[in-house]
A = this chain, B = another copy of it.
Amino acid sequence: MAPVRESPRASRPRVGGFRHGRVPGRVRSEQLLDVAERLFATTGYGATSIEAIAAEAGVTRPVVYSHFGSKDGIYLACLRRARAQLEAMMFDAMAGADGLPAQIEAGADAYFRFVESDPARWRVLFGGDAAVSGPVAEEAMQLHLGTERRFASLLADSPAAKDEQHVLAFSHAVGGAAHQLAQWWLRTPGIPRERIVDWYCEVTWNGVRALVER
């Protein structure tokens, strides 16, 4: 690798130990996503510009465009990364639990832990605060439905769950329940996560039982 060149602007942000202009593409992408996500969450989707993202990251606008094409592009990239992270948290937690009730509880706990860890981020990426429309909204919805499909295929492994549409309907119902419970929770301070998880499991458990017992 070429030796690090001394930049005339030594105060420029450094990313992962690399100086500006020597940052590998993948590292730069991740940095831009971090910056964009933070700006979306703090100043809102509408008020965030490519220019502000570039300035905050210490790069020029063309660098942002070359990585993501557009503001919609960088938003969807944030969404894909955050959803992959949410799914990893949920499905890892479920994989470590034994039996459907414990799995649902572990998955719900992971979900609400994610919401709790960064409410502003959740709101702008998942809670509708970005107010995107058209193809961006459609891709966001497809990503959302993808999580429920993964959840449904996990449930479908249960030997008793035979009706694929039934499993999908259940997955969407409990997914929507989690989503709106999160919306309300974020507006209702002072309720510990454990209580939310308990209430959530209470709502969903009968549906699980009906699904696997038939």
Whether A172 is near chain B, meaning CB under 8 Å from some CB there, is: yes
Chain A binding surface SS class: helix
Cβ A145 vs Cβ B184 within 8 A: yes
Tally A residues with Cβ within 8 Å of B: 47
A200-B133 Cα distance, complex, nearest whole Å: 28
Cβ A184 vs Cβ B203 within 8 A: no
Whether A119 is near chain B, meaning CB under 8 Å from some CB there, is: no
Question: Contacts of A202 on B, CB cut-off 8 Å?
Answer: 170, 206-207, 210-211
Whose C-beta in chain B lies nearest to the C-beta of A210?
Answer: B202
Interface residues of A in 182-214 (CB under 8 A from B): 183-185, 187-188, 191, 196, 199-200, 202-207, 209-211
Interface residues of A in 124-162 (CB under 8 A from B): 128-134, 137, 141, 145, 148
Integer count of this chain's copies in the complex: 2
A203 is contacted by which of B130, B132, B134, B207 (Cβ under 8 Å)?
Answer: B207
Cβ B165 vs Cβ A188 within 8 A: yes
A199 is contacted by which of B134, B170, B184, B191 (Cβ under 8 Å)?
Answer: B170
A149-B177 Cα distance, complex, nearest whole Å: 15
Whether A120 is near chain B, meaning CB under 8 Å from some CB there, is: no
A17-B191 Cα distance, complex, nearest whole Å: 56
Whether A13 is near chain B, meaning CB under 8 Å from some CB there, is: no
**With A168-B184, A179-B176, A203-B203: A131-B129 Cβ-Cβ less than 8 Å:** no
Question: Contacts of A170 on B, CB cut-off 8 Å?
Answer: 199, 202-203
Can you list 18 pairs linking A and B with CB atoms under 8 Å apart?
Answer: A130-B133, A131-B131, A131-B134, A131-B137, A148-B180, A165-B191, A168-B184, A168-B188, A169-B184, A169-B200, A173-B178, A173-B181, A176-B176, A176-B177, A176-B178, A199-B207, A203-B204, A206-B207
